[in-house]
Amino acid sequence: MKKLVMVFIVSLSLALAASAGFAADGKTLYAKCAGCHGADGAKTAQGNKPLKGLSADAFTKAMEGYKAKKFGGPKKAIMEGLAASLSPADVQALAAYVSKL
């Protein structure tokens, strides 16, 4: 029993250490966004408002809306697909990055 508990603790520790090493990086994730929104977020994409100046909360709400397919204009399908591929940690990292543009 002691060995089993020790193996579990070591496995859990390694898993936590590995996940910490793969934390989402907003700047890296934003590279996919820059094509439409510009490197500094000031470019309007498909006639929508620029990302520059958005708060982290506003960005997160928009991404949640895209994921739920309840946000965006007539050309929202592009963003719905992109948002669907993001984990909650990715959205959080992107929100933090975008809010500082």
- CATH code assigned at 57: 1.10.760.10
Domain contains 18 = no
Q: Is residue 30's pLDDT more than 90?
A: yes
User: What's this model's pTM, rounded to 2 decimal places?
Assistant: 0.73
Q: So what's the pLDDT on residue 45?
A: 75
**Count of domains forming the chain:** 1
Dihedral sign of CA atoms 31, 45, 94, 80 in order? negative
* pLDDT tens column, 63-88: 999 999 998 887 788 899 999 999 99
Structure tokens at 34: 């820059």
Q: So what's the pLDDT on residue 85?
A: 94
- Report the pLDDT averaged over residues 13-32: 68
The chain-wide mean pLDDT, for the chain, equals 81
Domain contains 56 = yes
Backbone angles phi, psi at 95, to 5 degrees: -60, -45
User: Could you tell me the residue range of the domain that residue 43 belongs to?
Assistant: 24-98
Q: So what's the pLDDT on residue 42?
A: 92
Q: Is residue 2's pLDDT more than 80?
A: no
